[in-house]
Structure formats: structure tokens, C-alpha cells
Amino acid sequence: MISKNSISGIFFTCLIAAFAWTISALFPFLNSILVGLLLGIVIGNFFKLPSQLSPGISLTSTKVLEFSILFLAFGINYSYMGKIGWQSFLVVAVVVFSVLIFSVYLSKKMNCPSTVGWMVGFGTAICGSSAIAALAPSLNKNKEDVGVALAVVNLFGTIGMLFLPLILTLFHFSTTEISLLLGGTLHSVGNVAGAAFAISPEVGEQALTIKLARVALLSTGLIFFSYLTQDSKGKSWKDYLQLPWYLWGFIIITILVSIIKIPENVISFSEIMGKILLTIAMTAIGLKVSFSSLIQSGKKGLFYGFLIFLFQIILILLGIFFVIN
């Protein structure tokens, strides 16, 4: 239920998000989710916002984020798991779950703020911003952590998109191997598309299929990550399935999409709505982030994100050498 004192903050957040969406429409290489987050951070830190906006901004940063995940679920289809062949899927699955385990271990060893490390690892392992959005509401309410995680994942995703294709062309990898390296490591679908199609249409199509198979692991990844990060003392296996309502909704929708033929226009509408709502939610999160907290957490987050990304690339290379060849 939206209270009257929340309306002004919701409207203010939506106004900034609309501007972010417009910028990304004019410059397609810019991600509206990241633009919204950055605009929110800048406005929230350089302008003293009226206190009456706070309830609406807080509501938008939580509830809208939860509903965006339901719409994004329509873009996940388990059928992609079977399209890449059992060898490639085995490599992708082992790498995803190994990165999740390593993320939890490394965040403890580096004393990286736990939820920052967890979200960076989860976003790196599966699908960037969308994965972070799916995980974030079930963690603590520290908005700085979400901002740092998104910034780190998008930074390394962009760096990988620009430089991995150049590096890979120096070696004699096959089309399948290059596709596996790009589709199995880069953070978002956009990163994969940008890097893979820059090499060739064949690599582009194969790498995207591999990436979508990786995205399809999001549901199982959420349950597995819940198991990894919860205190196991005195708990049965049923306790690890006690996920928030929106995550169960997410899982149910992905199953339905995978077994029932959903009209393309419904899927397209849902994906657009999901991105719009996610842009609004991330804009609200940005408005709650302070520069000092961002810098403090970001130092460890950057190095941590680099180690996770490097670990992921090494695992894919090992998979190519021992499984694919």
C-alpha cells in the first residue's frame, strides 16, 4: 500500500529514471540501469534532498526492485541448457557454482564487506546487474553495498568486452572455444553480444547461446547461494528453501516459460518492463548511496571483483583444455 507521504519520493525517482532511460535510448551503448544508478548517486550527494522524499525513495528501492525480478524472469528459458551440448554445459555449470563457492570463501579471507563480495561474485558468476538485483533484496538493507557491487560488475564487464576479443585473436582458439570464453565469463548479455559479434557472427550466436544457458542457472544459483551464505547450525534442508516470495515467483515463472510456449510479444513486454522497473529501483538505490561509503567499500570491491573475474577465466580455460578438447 502506497502512503501519501511516499508519492513525492516515488515521482521524483521515476523522473530521474526516465531521464536515464532517455539517455540510454539516445546512446545504446549505455546501460539504463547503470546510468540510473550513477545519476542517483550524483544527485543524492551533490544536492540536499527534502526529507519528505525519503519515504518514497526507500519504498522504490526495495519494492520496485522485487517486482522487477518477476518481469525479468520471462527472459530466462531452461531450454538453452540443451542447445550448447553437454560438454559446454558441464563446463559452464561447474564454473558458475565454483565461482559462487570461491566468492563466499574469498569475501571472508579478504574481509570484503560480506554483501558486497557476495553480490559481486553472484553477478560475475551468472548475469551481471540482473543477478545482483535478484540477490540484493534478500540480503541486508545497506544500499551502498548494492551500488558498489553494480559499479564493480559493470566496470569489469565493460573492460572484458573491450579487451577479451583483442586478446583472444592472438591465440589459435576455435569458434567454440572463443564462444565459451566470452559467453562463459563476461558479466551481462550485452557484454557478450558486444564482444562476440565483434569477432564474427558465428561466435556471436554461439556465445550468446552459452551466455543464456548460464543465465538459466540463476534460479538454482539463488538456492545454492542461500545454502552457502546461511548459518548451517541446527538447520534442515527445508530451511534453505525458505526464499522470499518474489524469488519463488521468479522460479515459478522461469519454469512456466521453459515448458509453455509464451507469445513473443508477452516476453518482449515483460523484459522491457523488467528493465524499466530495475532502472527505477537502481536510481532510488543511487539516491541513498554516499560517496564516502562508496569509496570505502569500493577499494576492496574492485580488487575482489578482479580476482573473481580472473578465477572465472582460468576455470573456463581449464574446462576447454580438459573437457572440450
In SS3 terms, 94-141 reads as: HHHHHHHHHHHHHHHHCCCCHHHHHHHHHHHHCCCHHHHHHHHHHCCC
Three cell numbers, residue 33: 540501469
pLDDT digit string, tens, across residues 173-226: 899 999 999 999 998 888 899 899 989 999 999 999 999 989 989 988 988 888
Q: How confident is the model at residue 160 (pLDDT cuts 50, 70, 90)?
A: very high
How high is the pLDDT of residue 319? Answer: 93
| Distance, C-alpha 176 to centroid of its chain | 24
Confidence of residue 282 (pLDDT cuts 50, 70, 90): confident
Cell of 213: 544457458
pLDDT of 89 > 60? The answer is yes
The answer for residues whose C-beta is within 8 angstroms of residue 102's C-beta and 6 or more apart is 121, 308, 311
Please report the pLDDT score of residue 141 as a whole number: 58
Q: Which residues contact 159 (CB under 8 A, 6 or more apart)?
A: none
Evaluate if residue 147 carries a pLDDT over 60: yes
**108, 112, 116, 121: CA torsion to nearest 10:** -60
CA torsion angle 80 91 254 246 (round to 10): -160
Confidence of residue 232 (pLDDT cuts 50, 70, 90): low
pTM of whole model > 0.75?
A: yes
Nearest to 69 by CA among 247, 317, 267, 291: 247
Position 324 confidence tier, pLDDT thresholds 50, 70, 90: confident
Cell of 236: 534442515
Nearest 10 degrees: Cα torsion 315, 321, 322, 325: 140
